[in-house]
């Protein structure tokens, strides 16, 4: 029996039935699947695993609000993350500007994807740090113990700073901190794209430009680059 992770994280999924057995895997580029998204036919299967991800070309404000509703955390996770958010944003009795970076290393390098060096982020932080009110830095990464050393001059925080012994849930804390950050730099992944869509505080989201090796604002309200 397989269990849906979302049942234990999000309110809207907490009553979903368990997934039984194994479903056929269908590529996101499958023509019948793409036709079904456009209303030109039925989905290839009633239930299936989707491989490769599926990003919409546009997202309306109503759809964005719907996404934010269905990814509302369960009370337990709200309590856990709110404690951390309070420590980050209101430490030393200061109202801090929370900057969250999503830095992928291991899986991106192994798959041959563009992996920005730490200097790309450091140069950007140097350029904006003095313009922000009481900035504080949070980093999420699949190689956090290696990456964090590069940012020591900014005194970064990560999941490991908040007295939890279970690193298996680090992605949950990372995700919800992203949704509460004031400034967010994301990568081309569904993880940080979805967190950006759930974030109601950021005025501008940033991404790493693989051509110029710089951090730049995301273009448009879709928040997917």
Confidence class for position 108, pLDDT limits 50, 70, 90:
low
Confidence class for position 184, pLDDT limits 50, 70, 90:
very high
- Structure confidence by residue, pLDDT tens digits, 198-210: 898 887 899 888 8
Which runs of E-coded beta strand occur in the chain? 25-27, 49-51, 97-103, 135-141, 183-186, 205-209, 214-217
Q: State how far the Cα of 82 lies from the Cα of 68, in Å rounded to an integer.
A: 17
Residue count (the chain):
225
Q: Is the predicted pLDDT of residue 130 greater than 70, yes or no?
A: yes
This prediction's pTM: 0.80
- Residue 1 has a pLDDT of 33
Share of residues in the chain with pLDDT > 90 (%)? 27
- Residue 51 has a pLDDT of 80
Q: State how far the Cα of 194 lies from the Cα of 29, in Å rounded to an integer.
A: 20
Which among 190, 177, 199 has a CA at the least distance from the CA of 224?
190
Average pLDDT over residues 18-34: 82
Sign of the alpha-carbon torsion through 203, 224, 176, 155? negative
Asked if 73 contacts 110 with a C-beta cutoff of 8 angstroms, the reply is: no
Q: What is the set of domains in the chain, with CATH numbers?
A: 5-51 (no CATH), 61-217 (3.40.50.11350)
Asked if 140 contacts 177 with a C-beta cutoff of 8 angstroms, the reply is: yes
- Residue 132 has a pLDDT of 95
The CB density around residue 8, as the number of other CB atoms within 10 Å, is: 14
Average pLDDT over residues 65-93: 85
Average pLDDT over residues 139-165: 89
Q: Tell me what the pLDDT averaged over the chain comes to.
A: 82
- Residue 222 has a pLDDT of 44
Q: State how far the Cα of 87 lies from the Cα of 91, in Å rounded to an integer.
A: 5
């Amino acid at each position: 029996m397989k269990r849906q992770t979302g049942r234990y994280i999000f309110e809207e999924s907490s009553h979903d039935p368990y997934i039984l057995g194994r479903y056929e895997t269908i590529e996101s580029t499958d023509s019948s699947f793409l036709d079904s998204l456009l209303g030109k036919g039925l989905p290839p299967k009633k239930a299936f695993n989707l491989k490769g991800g599926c990003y919409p070309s546009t997202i309306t404000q109503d759809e964005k609000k719907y996404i934010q509703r269905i990814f509302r955390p369960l009370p337990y996770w709200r309590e856990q993350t709110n404690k951390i958010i309070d420590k980050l944003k209101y430490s030393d009795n200061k109202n801090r500007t929370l900057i969250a970076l999503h830095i992928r290393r291991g899986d991106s390098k192994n798959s041959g994807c563009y992996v920005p060096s730490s200097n790309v982020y450091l140069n950007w932080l140097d350029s904006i740090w003095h313009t922000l009110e009481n900035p504080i830095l949070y980093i999420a990464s699949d190689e956090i113990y290696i990456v964090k050393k590069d940012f020591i001059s900014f005194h970064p925080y990560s999941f490991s700073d908040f007295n939890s012994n279970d690193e298996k849930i680090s992605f949950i804390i990372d995700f919800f901190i992203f949704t509460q950050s004031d400034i967010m730099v994301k990568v081309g992944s569904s993880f940080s794209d979805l967190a950006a869509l759930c974030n109601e505080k950021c005025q501008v989201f940033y991404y790493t430009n693989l051509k110029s090796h710089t951090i730049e604002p995301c273009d448009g309200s879709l928040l997917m680059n």
